[in-house]
Structure 1
Amino acid sequence: MHTMWKGSISFGLVNIPIKLHAATEDKDISLRTLHKECHSPIKYEKVCPVCQKEVGKDDIVRAFEYTKGKFVVLEDDELEQLKKQNEEKAVEIVDFVKIEEIDPIYFNRSYYMSPNDGGIKAYSLLRQALKESNKVGIAKIIIRSKEQMAVIRVVDNTLVMETIHYPDEVRPAADVPNIPANDTIVKKEIDTAVLLIDQLTSTFDPTKYTDDYRTALLELIESKKKGQKAISATTKEPVANNVTDLMEALQASIDRTKHEEPEKKKTTRKKAAPKKKKQA
């Protein structure tokens, strides 16, 4: 597994040399843009709109636009020095909390942590301490020139670092428009909705969920590579859209789940082998 960051993490006076490895990968299918006429890949060039000429890498500087049309130019050596000063700091766990106290909206990206040279014992110590205390660590780290808050926790006997957003990066839910202030739902509707939830409740198994769009897109690409006609994706039976009453919609949903459950069992049950006829 590729190492994307090396450093150390500390709690108290305990220092652990570690490596970070990306825990997830983007499986999106990347599509190129071509010229419709000749199918040549389109090139995107950096052009100065004032000078009307293409600019190269050496002609570009970075800047912050503090007001419309006004910039503060930041030199590469200034940014590099700032980055170096912060990256040289060890990642320090500053707090320990229960993970239930952190709303999932804060979570960003996940990284596996492995011990670097000489860090195996300290790594094992932190892992076991987190397990027994049922807590997670809150830390800070610099990744790709950005200071990140992070959660350190244990997953499958491996330390995992989850970067989390700062509070000012999470938009307030109060800013969402058109949220109803008062509930106007009657008790019967609530009971029926809870019954529907109960019928649809299962144990979370991530392996049963698939990216249907990506699968269909790959099949389309493969068929076109072989010179076949575009295939039609298998579509589910459309849900009736003539249900206007909320209670009627809930009851129809419950009836449908009752119908689907035996079908699932039927498809998973093995067919019995046909009996052989007795010869006369």
Structure 2
Amino acid sequence: MHTIWKGSISFGLVNIPIKLHAATEDRDIKLRTLHKECHSPIKYEKTCPVCDVEVKNEDIVKAYEYTKGKFVVLEDEDLEALRKENEDKAVEIIDFVKINEIDPIYFQRSYFMSPNEGGGKAYSLLRKALEESQKVGIAKIIIRAKEQLAVVRVYNNTLVMETIHFPDEVRNAVDVPNVPEEDKVTEKELDTAIMLIDQLTTEFEPEKYKDDYRTALLELIEAKRTGKELVTPTEKEPVSNVTDLMAALQASIDRTKPEKKKETATAAKKKKTAAKPKAKEKKQA
């Protein structure tokens, strides 16, 4: 697994040399843009609209636009010195909290943490301490020239660092337009909605969720590449345009009932089948 960062993490006076590895990957299908006439890939050139010339990488500088059309230019040396100053610092766990106190809206990206040379025992100690205390660590780290707030927790016997947003990066929900302030629902509507939720409630099994669009796109690409005939998928049953909330809830419950009955019948059949050999054994005895 590719190492994307090397350093150390500490809590109190305990220092753990670690490596970070990306825990997730982007599986999006990247499509190129081509010239329609000759199917050549399109080039995206950097040009200056004032000088009307193509600009090379060595002629580009970074700047911050503090007001419309006015910039503060930042030299590479300034940014490098700032980055180095912060990256040299060990990642320190500054607090321990319960993970259910952190709303999921804060979470960004996950990284597996592995111990670097000599860090195995301290790594195991932190892992065991987090498991026993049922807490997660809050730390700061510099990744790709950006300071990140992060959560350190245990996942499948491995320490995971999950970067999280700073509070000022999460927009205020109060600013979301058209959100009703009061619940204008009847008790019957609420009871029916809860009944529908109960019927659709199951255990979370991530393996059963698939990216249907990506699968269909790959099939389309392969069919076009090999010249095969494209098969039109079976259309889903159209959603009925029910405007009455109560009617929509009841229709939803009725729609899910056959599936639940089928699951119950299958489970009962399996139970009955499993019980038969025991009855036969009793008879033989």
Q: TM-score, normalised by structure 1?
A: 0.93
2:243 equivalent to 1:248: no
* Mapped contact 1:223–1:231 kept (Cα < 8 A): no
Q: Is the 8 A contact 1:150 1:162 kept in 2?
A: yes
Q: Report the CA distance shift for 1:51/1:40 in structure 2 as closer, same or farther (over 3 A).
A: same
Separation of aligned partners in 2, 1:22 and 1:209: 22
Task: Determine the structure 2 residue equivalent to 1:62.
Answer: 62
2:83 alignment partner, SS class: helix
The corresponding residue for 1:221 is 221
- The answer (yes or no) to whether the contact 2:16–2:122 under 8 Å persists in 1 is yes
Residue matched to 1:38: 38
8 Å CA contact 2:9–2:90 kept in 1: the answer is yes
Counterpart for residue 278 of structure 1:
none
**Equivalences for 1:184-199 in 2 at 5 Å?**
184-199=184-199
Aligned length: 270
Is 1:2 aligned to 2:2, yes or no?
A: yes
Deviation at 1:130, TM superposition (A): 0.3
Letter in 1 for 2:256: T
The answer to whether residue 119 in structure 2 is matched with residue 108 in structure 1 is: no
The whole-number CA distance in structure 2 between the counterparts of 1:267 and 1:49 is 69
Distance 2:32 2:172 in 1: 37
Alignment of structure 1 residues 266-277 onto 2, 5 Å: none
Alpha-carbon contact 2:199-2:260 (below 8 Å) kept: no
Richer in helix (by share): 2
SS of the aligned residue for 1:15 comes to strand
Where in structure 2 are the equivalents of 1:138-153 lying within 5 Å? Answer: 138-153=138-153
Secondary structure in 2 matching 1:95: strand
- TM superposition shift of 1:195: 0.3
CA-CA distance at 1:266 after TM superposition: 8.0
Q: For 1:31, what is the secondary structure of its paired residue?
A: coil
Structure 1 residue 183: Cα displacement = 1.1
Q: Distance in 2 between matches of 1:222 and 1:145?
A: 40
Q: Which amino acid aligns with 2:61?
A: V
Which residue does the alignment assign to 1:92?
92
Query: How many Å apart are 1:263 and its aligned residue?
Result: 4.8
* 1:100-137 residue CA offsets vs partner (Å, 9 max, x unmatched): 00000000000000000000000000000000000000
Q: Percent identity?
A: 74
CA contact (8 A) 1:113 1:158 kept: yes
Partner of 2:256: 257
Tell whether the 8 Å contact from 2:8 to 2:90 is kept in structure 1 after alignment: yes
Quick check: 1:230 aligned with 2:230? yes
Unpaired runs of 5+ residues, structure 1, are 271-280
